[in-house]
Homo-oligomer: A and B are copies of this chain.
Amino acid sequence: MSPTDKMDFLTAALQLFQDRIPFHRTLGFEIDFLTPEPVDTVAVASGQVVVKFDFREELVGNYVRGSLHGGVISAVLDAVGGLVAYLSLLERLEGQSNEAKIARLGSIGTIDLRVDYLRSGIGKAFLATGHVLRSGNKVTVTRMELHNDGQTLIAVGTGTYIVG
């Protein structure tokens, strides 16, 4: 594929991730890029892709502090971890059809996830990022972080994903 085709495919795949996963819509997750023009899969996998969402009352867990529920935090960390695991897998699928690549999105599954809740999830908007620690044929390990719009680190996570 040409770089343009590659980005078109990537944009379409990320759109699917945002629009076709019902729980991502329920929580208001949006996929975005950190830079205006990400160059290719590798760049995207290495941290240019993010999952964003705005604060909403219905995401609150602690009604005294008005902070995000831990489940919202683990959901977004799991989402961005799965996303970077998928992007890392895409690099191994070079040369396969777009249909084959899209089909693999449905085969990725979280094996386990650890979340460390560092500070109260307070903010107007939140941004989750991730990167791959180890990418394998069967299993990929990722690290994820959640910041609020004030650049405060809210939580970190480590996830193990089956990709085979």
Q: Does the CB pair A69–B75 fall under 8 Å?
A: yes
Query: Which residues of B sit under 8 angstroms from A23, Cβ to Cβ?
Result: 58-61, 68-69, 71-72
| Copies of this chain | 4
Q: Which residue of B lies closest to A114 (CB)?
A: B114
Interface residues of A in 17-76 (CB under 8 A from B): 20-27, 57-65, 68-72, 74-76
A76 to B75, CA, bound (A): 11
What B residues does A60 contact at CB under 8 A? 21-23
Tell me the bound Cα distance from A74 to B69 in angstroms.
11
> Could you jot down 21 A-B contacts, CB within 8 Å?
A20-B63, A21-B61, A21-B62, A21-B63, A22-B69, A23-B58, A23-B59, A23-B60, A23-B72, A70-B110, A71-B72, A71-B74, A74-B74, A112-B114, A112-B115, A112-B141, A112-B158, A113-B114, A116-B133, A119-B134, A138-B139
